[in-house]
Amino acid sequence: MSEAVAAAKPRRLAIGIEYDGTAYNGWQIQPHAPSIQAALNQAVAAVADEAVEVVGAGRTDTGVHASAQIAHFDTAADRTERSWLLGINSNLPADINVHWVRPVPVDFHARFAARSRSYRYLILNAPVRSALCRHRAWWVLKPLDAARMHAAAQVLVGEHDFSSFRAAACQASSPVRTVTEIRVSRHDDFIAISCSANAFLHHMVRNLAGSLVRIGSGEAEPDWLATVLEARDRKVSGMTAPAGGLTLTDVRYPDFDLPDCPDRSAWFNLCS
């Protein structure tokens, strides 16, 4: 089929993306700052030979990373999956790459069709900071009890009003979210907070991490987290943990068969 004929038949493609968010002002396009979305728009447009808007599953913040961001775009261009993949990656900077490209039905929407999302927050709990981990983990000097943090975190599982962990600038219409799983585990000097939910509020995981560190360090008792949750007041919870420790690790679409992205952000497991 010629590209002229294909131009009359737009189609939708989904992509799986990995990125280091250190140099970017988050996912969403900003007027005067670099963004992941802008870089992808430019790379995909170069292959499609037309303007393209890439729509992501989650609007990660400034400095936040992703090992499995999902996005979609519409195009009239006719390319093989391999040509899309190689072409897009050849036009992306080294801190962003696409793992796969797949055609999807027109009713697929990267954001609104997603049924669950997962994030990992990484803490380096060691007496000395790490130059190599400075953009990947929050360095916490005071010893933390990961088992104590994990036990306290279980009160968050289920459907709750998470106003106490919501940023003031959050634009979500409701503070109610359903957390399906939250785990806190230690791997030598690293502590990982892994959380899955139907959706997340602005800064929700980072605010949860700040509160759990208070509990892990002994500054607060484990039952304090339930009190914070019930208060529905951001002023009573812990600090907002730094952005660099946060990675979007999974987005699930039960109604659509999409490949997984390799989770290369879990390099801390190599140390265990």
Q: Which of 20, 61, 145, 250 is an active site residue?
A: 61
Task: Fill in the DSSP letter of residue 26.
Answer: -
Region(s) of the chain under CATH 3.30.70.580: 3-104
* 248 vs 205: CA distance, rounded Å: 10
**One-letter amino acid for residue 213 of the chain:** V
Query: How confident is the model over 199-246, as pLDDT tens digits?
Result: 999 999 999 999 999 999 999 999 999 999 999 999 999 999 999 999
pLDDT at residue 197 in the model: 98
How many other CB atoms sit within 10 Å of the CB of residue 59?
A: 15
Average pLDDT over residues 171-198: 96
> Which of 134, 50, 45 has its CA nearest to residue 88?
45
pLDDT at residue 272 in the model: 37
Specify the pTM: 0.93
Judged against a pLDDT cut of 80, whether residue 22 lies above it is answered with: yes
pLDDT at residue 67 in the model: 95
**One-letter amino acid for residue 111 of the chain:** R
| Lookup: tokens for 150 | 């994990």
Phi and psi for 202 in degrees, rounded to 5? -60, 125
Q: What are the start-end ranges of the E strands in the chain?
A: 11-19, 55-56, 65-75, 96-104, 116-124, 138-139, 158-161, 176-187, 190-197, 246-252
> Which of 252, 117, 269 has its CA nearest to residue 185?
269
Class for domain 116-254, per CATH? alpha beta
The average confidence (pLDDT) of the chain is: 93
* Distance (Å) of CA 102 to CA 13, 117, 237, 259, 270: 6, 20, 42, 9, 31
Contact criterion met (CB below 8 Å) for 76 and 10: yes
* 77 vs 3: CA distance, rounded Å: 6
Q: Give the residue with greater pLDDT, 265 vs 203.
A: 203
Q: Model confidence at 268, in pLDDT bands (50, 70, 90)?
A: low
> Which of 179, 173, 175 has its CA nearest to residue 159?
179
pLDDT at residue 270 in the model: 46
Contact criterion met (CB below 8 Å) for 93 and 244: no
Assess whether 61 carries a catalytic annotation. Answer: yes
| Lookup: tokens for 206 | 């980072």
Q: Which CATH architecture has domain 3-104?
A: 2-Layer Sandwich (3.30)
Judged against a pLDDT cut of 90, whether residue 145 lies above it is answered with: yes
> Which of 70, 89, 75 has its CA nearest to residue 256?
70
